[in-house]
């Protein structure tokens, strides 16, 4: 019986190594690079203001996106103000996140910034009329309790760390709004267009940081600046062909179904 089940599963269904390497594996590597980005930003902000680091990140990411454009149109299908709003929310989130890293350190700031799903859920359920159920409410409550533990009265944070933590939390609120807005935009716009406008708006918003001049950049800081946008570069490269992700996603679903039927 088990042999018959094995014969019923095609090589495509069990080719989980291909699924991992092409889809899930790339996203996992991207997440590692995003984590490394926070550490690199921390290194860079020791010699440069957070706003200048954010400018380099936006400009570098925009350059990568435009290089991968390959003739795709950047003319929005919907209204431009909504796309610009998403860009402003995202740019504000990144800038405050980097200021949080500068003040509170990469670990604490990233932990607090990653609470943005709370605000995404709240925005989606209150402004976009998505469903709010008990499991979602419990998850939000647990996240809020975690924030209280990390930055509550017993945390004994310094003044700089407290200000950095506040910046990271504000960044998470803006990031939640950016994610909710992006979800709405994705009904009519491509992910490539939304992300490209996000980086373009961020570049413009943070460009005033260069008015005072750029300090001398050491080799270590130069490496940190380049590494600060490698995560999004890899992720963008993964998503440059949506058909690849759709195909690999379906293949992953078939593989999971084959495991369930064989159990």
What mean pLDDT value characterizes the chain? 76
- The pLDDT tens digits for 24-50 are 666 666 667 777 778 888 888 888 888
DSSP code, position 22: I
Q: How confident is the model at residue 258 (pLDDT cuts 50, 70, 90)?
A: low
Q: Nearest-CA neighbor of 206 among 98, 64, 68, 75? A: 98
Q: How confident is the model at residue 85 (pLDDT cuts 50, 70, 90)?
A: very high
What per-residue confidence (pLDDT) applies to 139? 82
Please count the other Cβ atoms lying within 10 Å of the Cβ belonging to residue 146: 14
Q: How confident is the model at residue 9 (pLDDT cuts 50, 70, 90)?
A: very low
* Mean of pLDDT values over 54-72: 83
- Taking the C-alpha atoms of residue 169 and residue 93, their distance in angstroms, rounded to an integer, is 9
Domain boundaries, the chain: 17-252
- Taking the C-alpha atoms of residue 28 and residue 229, their distance in angstroms, rounded to an integer, is 16
Is the model's pLDDT at 190 over the cut of 80? yes
Q: Nearest-CA neighbor of 123 among 180, 168, 169? A: 180
Q: How confident is the model at residue 251 (pLDDT cuts 50, 70, 90)?
A: low
What per-residue confidence (pLDDT) applies to 197? 92
Is the model's pLDDT at 125 over the cut of 80? yes
Q: Which long-range contacts (CB under 8 A, 24 or more apart) does 47-51 make?
A: 47/215, 47/217, 47/218, 47/221, 48/214, 48/215, 48/217, 48/221, 49/209, 50/95, 50/98, 50/99, 50/101, 50/102, 51/95, 51/98, 51/99, 51/206, 51/208, 51/209
Task: Give the percent of the chain with pLDDT over 90.
Answer: 17
**Residue 116 near residue 175, CB atoms below 8 Å:** yes
Name residues whose C-beta falls within 8 Å of residue 90's C-beta, 6 or more positions apart in sequence: 174, 175, 178, 198, 201, 202
Please count the other Cβ atoms lying within 10 Å of the Cβ belonging to residue 154: 8
Find the DSSP H helices in 105-209: 106-113, 116-127, 134-151, 159-185, 191-206
């Amino acid at each position: 019986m088990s042999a018959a089940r094995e014969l019923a599963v095609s090589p495509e269904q069990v080719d989980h190594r291909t699924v991992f390497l092409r889809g899930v594996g790339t996203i996992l590597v991207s997440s590692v690079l995003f984590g490394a980005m926070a550490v690199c930003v921390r290194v860079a902000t020791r010699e440069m203001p957070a706003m200048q680091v954010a400018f380099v990140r936006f400009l570098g990411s925009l350059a990568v996106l435009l290089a991968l454009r390959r003739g795709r149109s950047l003319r929005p299908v919907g209204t431009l103000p909504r796309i610009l709003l998403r860009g402003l929310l995202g740019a504000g989130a990144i800038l405050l996140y980097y200021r949080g890293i500068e003040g509170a350190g990469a670990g604490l700031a990233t932990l607090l910034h990653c609470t943005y799903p709370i605000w995404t859920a709240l925005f989606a359920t209150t402004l976009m009329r998505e469903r709010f159920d008990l499991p979602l409410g419990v998850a939000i409550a647990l996240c809020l309790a975690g924030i209280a533990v990390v930055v509550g009265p017993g945390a004994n944070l310094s003044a700089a760390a407290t200000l950095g933590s506040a910046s990271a939390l504000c960044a998470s609120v803006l990031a939640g709004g950016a994610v909710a807005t992006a979800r709405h935009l994705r009904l009519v716009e491509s992910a490539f267009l939304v992300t490209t406008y996000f980086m373009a708006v961020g570049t413009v918003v943070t460009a005033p940081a260069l008015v005072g001049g750029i300090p001398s950049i050491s080799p270590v800081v130069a490496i940190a600046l380049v590494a600060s946008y490698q995560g999004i570069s890899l992720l963008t490269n993964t998503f440059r062909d949506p058909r690849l992700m759709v195909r690999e996603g379906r293949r992953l679903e078939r593989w999971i179904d084959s495991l369930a039927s064989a159990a």
